[in-house]
Amino acid sequence: MKKIGLYLLGIIVLFSLVSMVVSKIIYDGQFPRYERHDETVSASLRYVDLEADYPRQLVDFKSGGNLLKGYIYGSENSLGLVVVAHGLGGGADSYLPQITYFVDHGWRVFAYDATGSFDSEGKTTKGFPQALLDIDAALTCIDSEESFQELPVVLFGHSWGGYAVANVLHFDHEIAGVVSVSGASSAMFMIMEQGESMMGGFIYSQYPYLWLYQRVLFGEAASFDSVEAINNKDVPVLIIHGTEDDMVDYNGSAVIAGVNEMTNPKVETIVQSIPGRNGHNSLFKSEAAVIY
């Protein structure tokens, strides 16, 4: 029995060591650095085409050890300040349609490239909670800027950014409102959901190791979830999600999936269910765009 016990212990130790290595490789592989898209083949808007009508100021701020690049639009607008948090794989310029819309309607906009994205520093995007640490750093920068002091601050985030704007309510910032689009409720929920699509049920045997690795990287922020954040603050929150989202499951890891647990009376939702406009990115499309 003693030999059997030692044998089983050895298997457990070996499995744990291999799992830690595998978990790190898989996790890190999902969060590479993202450079600017090749504008010769990209169909997205280019700032160079909009520069004359939408001048912007550049600002730098630190998030951890990396210097991030920020962009201020509509510097004369006074309705409020919209902070735009982009999705994984993109940068601030990926949301130029939304940014210009806000500017046209009287808002000042503060957008930024997150860690490891576009013009910001960072060898990788590091992990899902990094978006949360980056928006905390952006808001800290905004809090210290005198020109923003009289403006109500509204957060707008999509995907990775949708997770960040909801969960940053765990931090102590003065926020007037939040719009979370296609966001995930928690980093761990999202990691497991994506892992299951890659590895099937085996991913659940890796849960303790993924949880530990993420905790080592990000500390307490790795455990934050949007339901608790939204319930803890008396802040209006608009949650938008597509019913056929293939990246953040509408009935799974999505912020909107936890709406029945939210006690904040200022929570509102928009469910996009129109075919062709109810996916992760397609919900931004107009009816005319779908037809085209």
Average pLDDT over every residue of 153-179: 98
Strands 108-112 and 81-85: parallel
Q: What is the structure's pLDDT at 112?
A: 98
Average pLDDT value over all residues in the chain: 93
Does position 252 have pLDDT exceeding 80, yes or no? yes
pLDDT level of residue 43 (50, 70, 90 thresholds): confident
269 versus 18: the higher-pLDDT residue is 269
Q: What is the structure's pLDDT at 19?
A: 78
Q: What is the structure's pLDDT at 7?
A: 74
Set out the domains of the chain in order of their start, with CATH numbers. Answer: 49-186+224-291 (3.40.50.1820)
In the chain, beta strands by DSSP E: 56-63, 66-73, 81-85, 108-112, 153-158, 177-181, 237-242, 267-272
Average pLDDT over every residue of 155-179: 98
pLDDT level of residue 201 (50, 70, 90 thresholds): confident
Confidence (pTM): 0.93
Average pLDDT over every residue of 227-240: 97
Q: What is the structure's pLDDT at 12?
A: 75
C-alpha–C-alpha distance, residues 139 and 162, integer Å: 15
pLDDT level of residue 53 (50, 70, 90 thresholds): very high
pLDDT level of residue 214 (50, 70, 90 thresholds): very high
- What's the burial of 251, exposed, middle or buried (CB within 10 Å: 0-12/13-18/19+)? exposed
The highest-confidence range among 47-61, 193-207, 276-290, by mean pLDDT, is 47-61
What is the number of other CB atoms lying within 10 angstroms of the CB of residue 231? 15
Average pLDDT over every residue of 142-147: 93
Q: What is the structure's pLDDT at 228?
A: 97
pLDDT level of residue 85 (50, 70, 90 thresholds): very high
pLDDT level of residue 292 (50, 70, 90 thresholds): confident
Q: What is the structure's pLDDT at 197?
A: 81
277 versus 2: the higher-pLDDT residue is 277
Q: How far is Cα of residue 51 from the mean position of the Cα atoms in its chain?
A: 26
Does position 65 have pLDDT exceeding 90, yes or no? yes
C-alpha–C-alpha distance, residues 80 and 284, integer Å: 23
